[in-house]
A and B are shown apart, each in its own frame.
Chain A
Amino acid sequence: MTDFEKINIGDQMPSLTKEPISEIQLAKYAGASGDFNPLHYMDAFGKAAGQGGIIAHGMLIMGIMGQAVTDWIPNRNLKRFNVRFASVTRPGDTITVSGKVTGKSFESRGLITCDIAAVDQNGQVKASGSFEAWF
């Protein structure tokens, strides 16, 4: 883990690039999470919903963003984490998560605030948000 003293506003969080999202992963995530919205595994439902086919669970993308955060920050240090879903992810998309330190303060403990975003292979933002972590 990085030392609080060594973190500066503007620093980049180590980025994470995942294997392309697959339909099998969406089926696994549906079962694991209990989100059986057919939009995530029934092509015809995705088309009826105007999405052009299957789209990934937003929470899978947030889960991947959480992976990137906790690759860098120990889980117990995470204080708050939010994302806004910006565009849909489809099977075959490759997600890269990156983040940047935007705030640093110290009262009884150190606290940092970071921006975070998940983008696909074309740089399209899938979800963006922020998190706070204690030190």
Chain B
Amino acid sequence: MEERSAMVGTSFPSYSFMVEKGKIREFAAAIGDMKDIYLDPEKAVGEGYPGVIAPPTFGTVIDLWGGPGFMKLCENLRLNPVKVLHGEQEYQYLESITAGDEITATTTITNFTEKKNMYLITMETVYVNQRKEEVQKCRQVVVELK
């Protein structure tokens, strides 16, 4: 517990992820959200985007394929994977993420709270593109049941 509280304010090493057109398509298909702007570069350009864009929750792909992954995250945060649930997720959108972008993400642990039946760990991630523009920010709360 004290060891975990001491982690508040700690940032993990940044990770980078190349956003490929095919990965956007695969992610959109898994959700079942087949909008043209996720699939067809010409139509996306016609809508005023530089190319096919990432759906609103694509940040999770950047985290999990570009970053440490679930098991490593549990190890880093000293969590028991069998007891871990996702509590909350919030995105702030600043710029579109477009196929071809190389996104660098940095995650910081911002809060750690103990409740009666669970621990709550809050993390914030900032996503920056290859032009050093902040494209989005994410705040997530992970729950570990006692």
Contact = CB atoms under 8 A, between A and B. Distances in A.
B100 interface: no
Interface in A73-91: 74-76, 78-85
Interface size range on B against A: 35 or more
A80 B33 contact: no
Interface stretch (B86-94, B107-115, B125-133): B86-94
Contacts of A62: 57, 89
Contact of B88 (A63, A70, A84): A84
A33 B27 contact: yes
Contacts of B47: 74
Interface residues of A, number: 39
B88 A34 contact: no
A31 B30 contact: yes
Contact of B57 (A18, A36, A50, A66): A66
Binding site secondary structure of chain B: mixed
A126 B70 CA distance: 22
Interface centre among A18, A50, A60, A67, by most B CB within 10 Å? A67
Interface string A94-131: 00000000000000000000000000000000000100
Nearest to A18: B32
Contact of A75 (B37, B86, B90): B37
Nearest to A82: B90
B56 A33 contact: no
Given A60-B31, A76-B49, A85 B56 contact: no
Which 6 residue pairs across A and B have the least CB separation, nearest first? A34-B64, A82-B90, A66-B56, A32-B30, A67-B33, A58-B86
Given A36-B71, A37-B84, A57-B86, 17 more contacts: A28-B26, A29-B30, A31-B26, A32-B61, A33-B61, A34-B60, A35-B64, A35-B70, A36-B69, A49-B82, A58-B89, A59-B57, A60-B30, A70-B33, A76-B49, A81-B90, A82-B90
